[in-house]
């Protein structure tokens, strides 16, 4: 790669000119939409800029695709949540629909919760959601999910532990 400086770090401008096209194509394959791929490619480089640290030159593609993969996941999570939320809203009479600001806020909170619970097993997440947001007791959740209250308690404890680690662990 001739245009790249030979020392161990690389400028974002060089990274951009060298890898933007490739990254765009990679994103396009994932997303199947030109516009979104272009947006996320842009966002990827913005992230690199915001890191405010020199970029190591030894594996720029792996470096960029790790950031881009995270953005794709966020994007998918957001669209999945939005779609599911709009579908749920469609069941409600018009007068109960939230105003745009509220709608936006709700989606944002849903995304924060989904991010927090990312990586939890489905059963653990469901038990935790019913407990934290549904305000149900262990016994009620157990009855609904067809498992023992003891299991629900373990699920809720596991989910809390997961959230704790996310918030307070060094990495």
Partner 1 sequence: MPMDTARHTAPVHLPDAIVRAAIAWQLKLDTSEDKPLISARIQRWCQQRPEHALAWQRLGGLQQELAGFAATLPNHNLVLPVLQRAGIDVQRRKSLKLLMLAIAVGGPGSWLIARQPGIAADYSTGTGDRHSVTLADGTELLLNTRSAVDVRFTATERRLVLRAGEVQINSALVPEHLRSNPLQVECRHGQCETFGARFVLRDQGRYSDLAVHSGEVSVSSHASEKLIARSGESYRLQPQRTELLSEQHIDPTAWTRGMLVVNDIRLDDFAQELARYRPGLVGCDPAVADLRLSGVFQLDQPEALLDNLSRTLPVNIVSRSRFWVRIVARA
Sites of contact with partner 1 (CB under 8 A)? 72-73, 76-77, 80-81, 83-85, 88-89, 92, 96, 98-99, 101-102, 105-106, 109-110, 112-114, 117-122, 125-126, 129-130, 132-138, 140, 144-145, 153, 156-157, 160-161, 163-164, 167-170
What one-character-per-residue DSSP string does 83-146 give? HHHHHHHHTS-GGGPPPHHHHHHHHHHHHHHHHHTTTS-HHHHHHHHHHHTS---HHHHHHHHT
Helix (H, G, I), strand (E, B), or coil: what is residue 3? Answer: coil
Comparing CB distances to partner 1, the nearer of 66 and 109 is: 109
**Cβ at position 14, least distance to partner 1 in Å:** 29
Comparing CB distances to partner 1, the nearer of 34 and 143 is: 143
Whether 46 contacts 38, CB under 8 Å: no
Comparing CB distances to partner 1, the nearer of 11 and 112 is: 112
């Amino acid at each position: 790669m001739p245009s790249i400086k030979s020392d161990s770090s690389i400028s974002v401008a060089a990274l951009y000119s060298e890898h933007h096209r490739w990254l765009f194509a990679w994103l396009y394959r994932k997303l199947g939409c030109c516009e979104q791929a272009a947006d996320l490619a842009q966002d990827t480089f913005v992230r690199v800029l915001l890191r405010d640290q020199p970029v190591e030159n030894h594996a720029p593609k792996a470096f960029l695709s790790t950031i881009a993969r995270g953005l794709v996941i966020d994007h998918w999570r957001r669209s999945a949540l939005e779609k599911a939320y709009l579908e749920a809203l469609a069941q409600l009479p018009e007068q109960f629909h939230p105003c745009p600001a509220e709608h936006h806020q709700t989606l944002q909170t849903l995304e924060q919760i989904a991010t927090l619970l990312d990586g939890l097993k489905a059963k653990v997440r469901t038990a935790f959601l019913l407990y934290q947001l549904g305000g149900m007791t262990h016994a009620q959740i157990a009855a609904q999910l067809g498992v023992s209250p003891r299991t629900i308690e373990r699920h809720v404890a596991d989910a809390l532990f997961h959230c704790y680690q996310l918030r307070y662990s060094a990495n």
